[in-house]
Every structure is written in C-alpha cells, then in structure tokens.
Structure 1
Amino acid sequence: MKWTADDMTVFLREKQYIDTLLLPLQPVSFTNEMKQSASMQEFVEALTREMEKQFKGRVMLSPAFPYLKQEPVEEQLPKIQKWIQEAKEGGFSHIILITSDASWKQVEKILTECSSGCHLFLLKTWRTPIKTNHFRTDETTAAAAYNEME
C-alpha cells in the first residue's frame, strides 16, 4: 500500500493484516554529493515501489525519511527512533528501513536493539544506470527475506 488517501482508507479498514512498514532513508546533499544522493534515492525508490507491489495488502510504503548526508547518522537516531515508535503505536509490527547509505551500518545494532521488529536493509547501488521500467525483483529472494522476519 502506498501513502495515498485511497490506500489509507483501505489500510484503516484492513489494518490487522498490514503489519509491515517500508521506510526508505533518503540522504540529501546540495553540494558535491548531490548526484550521488539523487542516484541513491532513485534506486531505493525503484526497489521499494516493486516491494510494495509484490507485497500489496501486507506492507505500507512510507514517505522517505530525509536527512542531510553531511550530518553524522548518529544525529539522526533520535528522529528515526521517533518515527519507529510512532509506527509501532500505529500497529506496525515490522519496520524495514531501506537505504543505500552505508553509514547507517554504524548504528544498525543500536536501531535493532532499541526497537524490536526493526530491520535495516542496506542496498548497494550500481554505477551504471538502471532502467526502472525493466526493474524486477527476485520474488523468491524477496519473499524469503520477508518470511524470515516472521
């Protein structure tokens, strides 16, 4: 389910079946890393869109959590923990943080220890452009990763 008014209507009616929130982490840079942060955003957006399609009716795709790339991720911890807490209060058992920014690996243990049901997936971006209209996920791999959380 996407973050739209129509999908929210369905979500509120079927809330007991939708237990997972996909939360993209979006680094933003307005300086020399601008192109890299845009590329990371495109890749994560394409993948999360496909995940939402594959698991529609079971997951909710959240708007991205934006943060300045030049700030240490440790400074983002209190904010992201608030997002996670609110998602848990909203009924989500699993919160999947998805990013291409390797700096989140530094705080992965803190995030998962403080928030049960919180998982961080770090995605590697390719240097060659991806044709998003031909993008496919490996259904077996994605399904297996999702089922491991349960």
Structure 2
Amino acid sequence: MVDDGSDHDIEMFSHELIESGFATSDTIIGCDSAEIAQVYSIAPEGFPIPDEYQAFLEKMGKKAGTLFRGTDLFFPRMLDAVEAAEDVSGKGLTLDGRFFFGHHQGYKVYFFKRGSGAVYGYQEGTSEEERLADGFIEFLRDSWRIQQRIRESTEAMRRERLGRME
C-alpha cells in the first residue's frame, strides 16, 4: 500500500469522477495483489514504479467508470502495452528504460522513463516522444479534463441538432 499521499490523491480523484458522472462507486475497480504483480512483471527488471501509479492500480486499475474509454490503460488489457510499443517504435521511440503502461488503439503508447515519475506518450508517425504530465495523477486529471470538454461539446451539438428538429 502506498503511503506518500498518492493514495489520498487517487481517492479524491475517484470521488471527483463519481460526482461528475464519469463513474459510480460500482464502476471504480482496483486490482488485487496478484493482478498488480502481473503489471509489475511487464516492467523492466528493477524499474521503480511511481507511487502514484501504484495507488492508481490499487484503487482503479481495472476500471474507472467511463474514463479512458477506448484506451487500454486498465488491467488486463494494459498488459499488451509493451507489444503495442514494439509495433509503433521507430526513430522517435526507444523501448529501453521505459515502462509502458497503456496504449490507445494500437497507435499511441503511454510510459514512464526510468528515474522519472513523469508520463510520456508516443504516437505512431511522429518523430519523437512527448512529455504529457509531470506525474501520473496530473496525467489522469489532464486526460479527464479533455474528456469532459469532449462530452460537453458533444452534448451541445446534440441539443443544437434537437433544437433544429423541433
């Protein structure tokens, strides 16, 4: 169990997901110790897993409502992240010293670098990786904000279309 504040931050984030309608208490599901061990088994030997990611696995490693729909960030599908990284690796992505923890539809991968708690991404067809956030919780919050804006925009378009039909 993580005790550096990361578990508190993840707990607070899960409450925010519930309050926003992105999740219910039934749809936030953590990994058990055997599942977490499987996740750790795909990391390079001796790779220091960030505490924020450990807290995420414990609290919502299997599911977090509708957060990251279409993205394989949850157990067990995230176990394929290394394979996805191998498929998209090129001159802008090296596999050494990285822990790949997720992928999006086979063309984008998410990872940590050895010695850094920052979250990085690499998208097929680009020339280099991108630093997405300084930490995993920041990555979750940033991604959630983007998904909120998409939902709001989609709802506004639906309302506008229905208004024209009346």
Q: Same fold (TM over 0.5)?
A: no
Compute the TM-score of the two structures, normalised by the length of structure 1: 0.30
Higher relative contact order (CA 8 A, sep 6+): 1
Structure-2-length-normalised TM-score: 0.28
